[in-house]
Amino acid sequence: MEFSSKLIEKAVDEMSQLPGIGKRTALRLVLHLLKQPKEQTGFLSQALLNMREDIKFCENCHNISDTKVCEICANTARNHQTICVVEDIRDVMAIENTGQYRGIYHVLGGKISPIEGVGPSQLNISTLVEKVKSGKVIEIIFALSSTMEGDTTNFYIYKQIADSEIIISTIARGISVGDELEYADEITLGRSILHRVPFEKTFKNN
Amino acid sequence: MEFSSKLIEKAVDEMSQLPGIGKRTALRLVLHLLKQPKEQTGFLSQALLNMREDIKFCENCHNISDTKVCEICANTARNHQTICVVEDIRDVMAIENTGQYRGIYHVLGGKISPIEGVGPSQLNISTLVEKVKSGKVIEIIFALSSTMEGDTTNFYIYKQIADSEIIISTIARGISVGDELEYADEITLGRSILHRVPFEKTFKNN
């Protein structure tokens, strides 16, 4: 792509480094900003800069937070003996939205992925193992996505804490609510039969 | 969506004001920036700010440019008596990429669209009419998109310059190269039969 202006070219170059944004989309976004009042670009740039400069991570669970300890960890009404291990802040938000979980979280910051060059040392794994070894934890719930990377990460952590006397569980895999059986893949369907639950549970818990 | 950090919330809010970017995509982009070095966010913000503050429009054709007169208008080797009327900079880039056009452009900055509240006075129409009245122009080529808004804009301009003794043309509408006839809509197919061209032209010009 040849641009008639270096300024546009630079803006498009930077924009298109974001994931899922190609040069064409970047140009569309940049031209949109040009049609809007100057303040909008100012607000956007400032919000991004402030976010990147001043963001903090909770000392305890590594969740993104504006304070040293995040709201969830600071909440004494929650069960601090149950830790749900998740990949990032989006998973915390998703589980919080269900309203079904009253324990705390541990945010790993990613999954072990040799393809993307992410090893265990880049993730918040050691602090999790320390927490388990401290003896204050009763249950660990793995809530990573059900992919090869997720399973690898689960297993890597499991091996380090398997000798502790705590309950280690993963979230249930099975048929999604509203799904038709005939379209479910066989692994999911197979697991959902193996891990069947007493029928009464389905209406008692909800 | 509830965020654990006001900084993230603000960044997501600003990001999601861009066209085609919802809250979820905005959050994904913002989390991506958080994982990258701080400089990347700095470069992005600065590029956007510089672009918005310092961008200039060519005095002659209203194309985006870093100089008072854009490269195309400043190029004396081009035919300044033929003006191609386009909607925005992307159309200039698209036509330049074909390498088939040696005239200059006139960028309207949009199309007349009552639904989006864009009237003729918000577009660069008066300067185009002046150019035509000055008598230095021999041909005007309308290259707006073939939509109701595009046709309206073409017609609005046409009415103001129809009494000038210049050639007024539009780019050809027809079957795209590589398209199967059976999937073409009937209006396009109909036009392409009405406006058929001598067969020799198809291999002489290319």
Are A85 and A21 contained in the same domain? no
pLDDT confidence band for B156 (50 / 70 / 90): very high
Q: What is the pLDDT of residue B202?
A: 67
Are B32 and B89 contained in the same domain? no
The domain spanning residue B115 has which CATH number?
3.40.1360.10
* B52-108 confidence digits (pLDDT tens): 998 889 999 999 988 889 989 999 999 999 999 999 888 998 898 888 899 999 999
Residue A206 lies in a domain: no
Are B85 and B129 contained in the same domain? yes
Characterise B64 by phi-psi region: left (phi > 0), alpha (psi -120 to 50), beta (else): beta
Q: What is the pLDDT of residue A156?
A: 93
pLDDT confidence band for B186 (50 / 70 / 90): confident
Which among A4, A15, A32 has CB closest to B70?
Answer: A4
Q: Which tokens hold the place of A108?
A: 């790993």
Residue B201 lies in a domain: no
Residue B127 lies in a domain: yes
Are A38 and A122 contained in the same domain? no
Residue A196 lies in a domain: no
Are B70 and B31 contained in the same domain? no
Question: Which regions of chain A are under pLDDT 70?
Answer: 202-206
Q: What percent of chain B has pLDDT over 70?
A: 98
Interface of A with B in 168-187 (CB under 8 A): none
Q: Which tokens hold the place of B134?
A: 């000055």
Are B13 and B34 contained in the same domain? yes
What is the C-alpha separation between A90 and B126, in angstroms, rounded? 51
How many domains does chain A contain in total? Answer: 2
What is the H or E stretch that residue A74 is in?
A: helix A71-74
Strands A79-86 and A64-65: unpaired
Are A89 and A137 contained in the same domain? yes
Residues of B in contact with A31 (CB under 8 A): 88-90
CB contact under 8 A, B11 and A47: yes
Interface of B with A in 60-89 (CB under 8 A): 63-66, 70-72, 88-89
Are B35 and B92 contained in the same domain? no
What is the C-alpha separation between A129 and A166, in angstroms, rounded? 12
Closest CA to B173 of B186, B152, B158, B189: B189
Are B72 and B140 contained in the same domain? yes
What is the C-alpha separation between A194 and B88, in angstroms, rounded? 60
Size of interface A-B (CB pairs under 8 A): 174
Residue A63 lies in a domain: no
B47 CA: distance to closest CA in chain A (Å): 5
CB contact under 8 A, B64 and A28: no
Whose tokens are 């999937």? That residue is B183
CB contact under 8 A, A11 and B65: no
Q: What is the pLDDT of residue B4?
A: 81
b/e map of B189-200 (b: 16 or more CB within 10 Å)? beebeeeeeeee
Q: What is the largest CA-CA distance in chain B?
A: 68
Residues of B in contact with A93 (CB under 8 A): 1-4
Q: Are the C-beta atoms of residues A85 and B22 closer than 8 Å to each other?
A: no
Are A28 and A100 contained in the same domain? no
Contact A2/B at CB under 8 A: yes
pLDDT confidence band for B201 (50 / 70 / 90): confident
Are B70 and B165 contained in the same domain? yes
* B28-43 confidence digits (pLDDT tens): 999 999 888 999 999 9
The domain spanning residue A10 has which CATH number?
1.10.8.420
What is the C-alpha separation between B24 and A33, in angstroms, rounded? 20
* A149-179 confidence digits (pLDDT tens): 999 999 999 999 988 889 999 888 888 888 8
Interface of B with A in 32-51 (CB under 8 A): 32-35, 38, 40-51
Q: State the complex-level ipTM.
A: 0.80
B200 CA: distance to closest CA in chain A (Å): 32
Contact B157/A at CB under 8 A: no
pLDDT confidence band for B188 (50 / 70 / 90): confident
- Work out the number of other CB atoms within 10 angstroms of the CB of residue B2: 7
Q: Are the C-beta atoms of residues A26 and A16 closer than 8 Å to each other?
A: yes
What is the C-alpha separation between B160 and A49, in angstroms, rounded? 48
Residues of A in contact with B15 (CB under 8 A): 44, 47-48
What is the H or E stretch that residue B73 is in?
A: helix B71-74
pLDDT at B205 over 70: no
**Domain hosting residue A21, numbered range:** 6-54
Residue B128 lies in a domain: yes
What is the C-alpha separation between B92 and B143, in angstroms, rounded? 10
Residue B102 lies in a domain: yes
Residue B93 lies in a domain: yes
Are A28 and A84 contained in the same domain? no
Q: What is the pLDDT of residue A22?
A: 94
Average pLDDT over residues B162-167: 88
Contact A93/B at CB under 8 A: yes
Q: Are the C-beta atoms of residues B175 and B189 closer than 8 Å to each other?
A: yes
